[in-house]
Amino acid sequence: EIVLTQSPGTLSLSPGERATLSCRASQSVSSSYLAWYQQKPGQAPRLLIYGASSRATGIPDRFSGSGSGTDFTLTISRLEPEDFAVYYCQQYGSSLYSFGQGTKLEIK
């Protein structure tokens, strides 16, 4: 089973700043099968990025994903007030899924 570890646990930034979130896998993950989600309180998660770097439908271009192998990154180029939420990475491998524990992005 592949374990995903996200860092930092909490990231405190101001609107307009750049956010960099990390997701590290316990073993290599195919880039095709790495995704990122945003979740706001009381809501279901929303798919942001799939295939490590492809934006899902309707996702603003300030969100970008990168990485390969065991290290992946979600970057938000310029934070908007609505971007403060919890972010999860997710992988698919050997017909099984797993999620990281999440990074909370909070307003500084």
In the complex, what is the shortest distance from the CB of residue 14 to other proteins, in angstroms, rounded to a whole number? Answer: 25
Site string for other proteins, 35-74 (x = CB under 8 A): x-x-x----xxxx--xx----x------------------
Greatest pairwise CA separation for the chain in angstroms: 40
d(C-alpha 60, C-alpha 38), whole Å:
13
| Residue 102 engages other proteins in binding (rule: CB under 8 A) | yes
| Residue 99 engages other proteins in binding (rule: CB under 8 A) | yes
Distances (CA, A) of 74 to 7, 21, 90, 103: 11, 5, 12, 11
Cβ-based burial of 59 (10 A; exposed 0-12, middle 13-18, buried ≥19): middle
Distances (CA, A) of 68 to 27, 29, 46, 54: 11, 7, 22, 13
In the complex, what is the shortest distance from the CB of residue 78 to other proteins, in angstroms, rounded to a whole number? Answer: 25
Among 78, 97, 106, 108, binds other proteins (CB under 8 A): 97
| Residue 101 engages other proteins in binding (rule: CB under 8 A) | yes
Q: Contact residues for other proteins (CB under 8 A)? A: 1, 32-33, 35, 37, 39, 44-47, 50-51, 56, 88, 90, 92, 95-102
